[in-house]
Structure 1
Amino acid sequence: MTANATQVSVTPAAIGPVLPAEDRFYAAPAGVDVLAPGEIIRSRQVDLKTNWASHHRSDAWQLLYRSTDLHGEPSVAATTIVLPRKRTDGPLRLLSFQSAIDAVTTCCFPSYALQTGAQSAHTIVPMEFLVVRRALAKGWAVSIPDHEGMLGAWGAPREPGYRTLDGIRAAMAFDETDFSAETPIGLWGYSGGGMATAWAAEMAPSYAPELDIVGAVLGSPVGDMKSALLRLNGGLHAGLPVMAIAGLRRVYPELDKVIVEHATDHGRENLAEIENLPTLQAIRRFAHHDIGKYLDMPLADVLELPEMVEMMRDLELGHTAPTVPLLVVQAVHDEIISVADVDRQVERYRAGGTRVTYVRDQLSEHYSLLPLSGPLAVGWLTDRFEGRPQQGRDLTAIAGQRNPRDQIARLRRRLSVA
């Protein structure tokens, strides 16, 4: 485990939270390349919004640490550590929750959006963390990484995994915690956060083999980025693929070159605008936009360019099988993520030897499945923390069930092994 010699505390500004792009706390120090992945650069205590300030939470800290980008180069990232007031008996357990940042602008980063006084009304982060309070109620500590890194490269492969795993390393090395090398670790995320969690599970065996990750919950984890981008283009959620392109061009020079050469002035203006919009505002502003109209050649032809074919292949999850057990939860009638894409992702994992319990829910849709599956996710992770065996099988919700919450509770009982 990395030593804490580089830990430097920074007192929060009295004027309230500052956007990460403008906050010196996030500045990379000289010589970051000599630090070990996960090594802490600086830390500070923060106040979280009232929807987090419950009796389940006592202290919250932010850590800036050394991590790795898509190209294997050293970089920095931040995570927010929340410590429960009431802890479980025995060693403290750690949950890393990857949020659905789903944007390029730093106002959507969890380290900013969760703070008291942050202007985060159009972000997803504060809403979904109401669900994660279940973990604090169980006495678990929670790490909430800014898994997009400082570039806000939403949609990029692998590096969300690196930043998540390095955030766990930093949390375990932090002076205010009492973790050990044997601390059991769970992963959980939904939608864009589910995709980041999938990358963390895939990268863990090679990038952070020392971490004792006992299981990962992948909620609606995208499955196939190319399929999602094409299916959403021109529809109600067309802002999501536009934001993904704006983020991916920051880490794929080949994509940036294609945009420079083939995007119209109108297309470039829209990409520049969406870089500064929070998630919900971007979805509303760019509803029904067609990316094909941003280009001077057909979209199908652009996607057939060799560099674009290679990039799209690079974005696909499931080619590295996680070695930890997985719970995958997906709504059959999801209006954003195709259940067929997630089916294939699960098939790829199982073909690689991963133990997967797959719940295909027929009663919910994308926005309701996270809160409805919260008890199931926490119950499944509790079983993994306590060393109970996993039942790796498919479970499909019964259509017509009157109370979805009863269904989720029933599925949880079926998944648990006493």
Structure 2
Amino acid sequence: MRPSRAAAIVAAAVLACPAAVLATAPAVAVESKGVEMPAFYDPPTSIPSTPGTVIRTEPMPTALNLPVVFPGTSTRLMYSTTDSNGLPAPATGALIRSTKSWGGPGPRPVVAFAFGTIGQGDQCAPSYGLEHPLLIGIGSDGGTFNANYEVVQMSGLLAKGYDVALSDYIGLGSTDRLHTYMNRADQAHALLDVVRAVRNLPDSPIVAGTKVGLWGYSQGGGAVAAAAELQPTYAPDVNLVGAYAGAPPANLHEVIKGVEKNAIAAVLGYTLNGLIQSYPELRPVVDARMNDKGFAALRDISTQCIPDSAATYGFSSSTEWTKDGKSLTEIIAELPHVRDIVDEQQIGTRKPTAPVLVTTKLSDGTVPHKQARQLAVDWCGKGARVTYVPLGLPALPGDTDRGTLHHIAGVPEGLPTASIWMQKRFEGASSVNSCPIIRALP
């Protein structure tokens, strides 16, 4: 971050809290709760500067992913990537090699899979969830519960004969830092670099001509969308043939509004914690505006998985966490330099060169439909090839999706379309381009 902006943010924080002494936010915990993470997740002190460098691997059992049939064998990975400040960072993930045959043209394809929101504690890492699909942890620091809900989608991809490369993102699993939730560049880089890491394995399934697809919903949809538009400049060596972005959180301002008083309102805490991790100049702003309840919530949320957070902070409002009772949206609007940081997470400002599929449920108020549609419109305006598929019917008056049911329903509703669309990309068929008619679509 430019020093001038950092100084301006600090100055804004001081002006926002003219008291003689500013309270100091407790340091955000970088830890797991109820679980002691395996030593595999502790990164070395020196991280390779070349993105996609394999740091370490180990075999990983996935047999407990029942009752879903999981046709694959797994290897856990730690690899290098690049954070939003341009610095080398560790990330973890997994390669799941399908045991089903691939009957399509060319080498077996690889799908880079981006998880939906799973939490911020290290124990929530998707790769750890492959080994522990139902996690119940009890320790002196409290308990945790998590479920590997993405195993159904991954199983479907493996059943088609695709290998799956899974990224934990930056800081989720890797114990050196907090998960940088909703950081556009971090999530994109980690997803693209897991493909490079798989390619760099001694027995890599990626050979000349291997086609790569990106797949994700919700947080994963945002990661895919960000990766698709950064791939031409950040990872042109990745042979990307298609990207499925379901319910992508492309406009963080609108998503913050959507999750206020929502069943997953704790993701506001994930977002704040993650932005502070990436932009430490935000800490004085948080120190100036957060009350004791807010500090405690941020600390607690930083160690939780999404079931923990929903049970503890579901339907909360960010107004409960601030000294003056203002919402996070109101505070962002007051501070232009903070707004700039949120603006940096906007997806849709660059053109993807590979075909993209965007699905969004019309009644989704959690990751609001309108901002997901706008992403497709923005990409069309830049000349991208976009297949845009709105799902279902609009919400009834007064239905704001506070229980996230509409958002969750977008997964099974969009799955058949996404599955066929990705298969066609691997077969080499041309995708449907919705751009000529997108203005007429809801």
State if a TM-score over 0.5 links the two structures: yes
Once the two structures are superposed, residues 242-264 of structure 1 have per-residue CA deviations (whole angstroms, 9 ceiling, x without a partner) of 22212222112132221112211
Q: Which residue of 2 aligns with 1:141?
A: 163
Q: In 2, distance between residues paired with 1:288 and 1:56?
A: 34
Alpha-carbon distance change, 284 to 387 in structure 1, aligned in 2, over 3 angstroms: same
Alpha-carbon distance change, 365 to 207 in structure 1, aligned in 2, over 3 angstroms: same
* Structure 1 segment 1-400 matched on structure 2, within 5 A: 22-33=37-48, 35-51=49-65, 57-89=71-103, 90-116=106-132, 119=135, 122-123=145-146, 126-149=148-171, 150=174, 151-297=178-324, 298-299=326-327, 300-363=330-393, 365-393=406-434
Query: 2:116 touches 2:219 (CA, 8 Å); kept in 1?
Result: yes
Amino acid at match of 2:413: L
Query: 1:101 touches 1:108 (CA, 8 Å); kept in 2?
Result: no
Q: In 2, distance between residues paired with 1:307 and 1:21?
A: 38
Query: 1:239 touches 1:284 (CA, 8 Å); kept in 2?
Result: no
Query: Alpha-carbon deviation of 1:66?
Result: 1.0
Worse overlay, 245-254 or 270-279: 245-254
Secondary structure (helix, strand or coil) at the match of 2:365 reads: coil
Worse overlay, 44-53 or 347-356: 44-53
Q: In 2, distance between residues paired with 1:314 and 1:153?
A: 14
Alpha-carbon distance change, 58 to 295 in structure 1, aligned in 2, over 3 angstroms: closer
Alpha-carbon distance change, 26 to 56 in structure 1, aligned in 2, over 3 angstroms: closer
Secondary structure (helix, strand or coil) at the match of 1:162 reads: helix
Q: In 2, distance between residues paired with 1:130 and 1:382?
A: 17
Secondary structure (helix, strand or coil) at the match of 1:196 reads: helix
Unaligned runs of 5+ in 1: 1-16, 400-418
Query: Alpha-carbon deviation of 1:277?
Result: 1.5
Secondary structure (helix, strand or coil) at the match of 1:146 reads: strand
Q: Which residue of 2 aligns with 1:7?
A: none
Worse overlay, 62-71 or 243-252: 243-252
Amino acid at match of 1:123: N
Query: 2:72 touches 2:158 (CA, 8 Å); kept in 1?
Result: no
Query: 2:199 touches 2:206 (CA, 8 Å); kept in 1?
Result: yes
Query: 2:218 touches 2:247 (CA, 8 Å); kept in 1?
Result: yes
Q: In 2, distance between residues paired with 1:21 and 1:326?
A: 39
Alpha-carbon distance change, 219 to 256 in structure 1, aligned in 2, over 3 angstroms: same
Q: In 2, distance between residues paired with 1:118 and 1:235?
A: 24
Once the two structures are superposed, residues 210-269 of structure 1 have per-residue CA deviations (whole angstroms, 9 ceiling, x without a partner) of 111000000000121111112321333322222221222211213222111221112101
Query: 1:21 touches 1:106 (CA, 8 Å); kept in 2?
Result: no
Q: Which residue of 1 aligns with 2:25?
A: none
Q: In 2, distance between residues paired with 1:53 and 1:59?
A: 16
Amino acid at match of 2:44: P
Query: Alpha-carbon deviation of 1:275?
Result: 1.0
Query: 2:224 touches 2:245 (CA, 8 Å); kept in 1?
Result: yes
Q: In 2, distance between residues paired with 1:190 and 1:23?
A: 28
Alpha-carbon distance change, 112 to 71 in structure 1, aligned in 2, over 3 angstroms: same
Q: In 2, distance between residues paired with 1:380 and 1:98?
A: 17
The one of the two structures with greater contact order (alpha-carbon pairs below 8 A, sep at least 6) is: 2
Query: Alpha-carbon deviation of 1:53?
Result: 8.3
Query: Alpha-carbon deviation of 1:179?
Result: 1.7
Q: In 2, distance between residues paired with 1:170 and 1:189?
A: 19
Q: In 1, distance between residues paired with 2:94 and 2:75?
A: 6
Q: In 1, distance between residues paired with 2:146 and 2:113?
A: 16
Alpha-carbon distance change, 175 to 379 in structure 1, aligned in 2, over 3 angstroms: same
Amino acid at match of 1:32: I
Q: In 1, distance between residues paired with 2:94 and 2:67?
A: 14
Q: In 2, distance between residues paired with 1:309 and 1:39?
A: 34
Query: Alpha-carbon deviation of 1:144?
Result: 0.9
Query: 2:69 touches 2:155 (CA, 8 Å); kept in 1?
Result: no
TM-score of the superposed pair, with normalisation by structure 2: 0.80
Alpha-carbon distance change, 18 to 230 in structure 1, aligned in 2, over 3 angstroms: closer
Q: Give the number of equivalent residue pairs.
A: 380
Unaligned runs of 5+ in 2: 1-31, 137-143, 394-404
Q: In 2, distance between residues paired with 1:101 and 1:152?
A: 11
Query: 2:95 touches 2:163 (CA, 8 Å); kept in 1?
Result: yes
Query: 1:105 touches 1:278 (CA, 8 Å); kept in 2?
Result: yes
Q: In 2, distance between residues paired with 1:180 and 1:143?
A: 15
What is the root-mean-square deviation of aligned Cα atoms in Å?
Answer: 2.6
Q: In 1, distance between residues paired with 2:70 and 2:289?
A: 52
Query: 1:215 touches 1:384 (CA, 8 Å); kept in 2?
Result: yes
Q: In 1, distance between residues paired with 2:317 and 2:92?
A: 34
Query: Alpha-carbon deviation of 1:145?
Result: 0.5
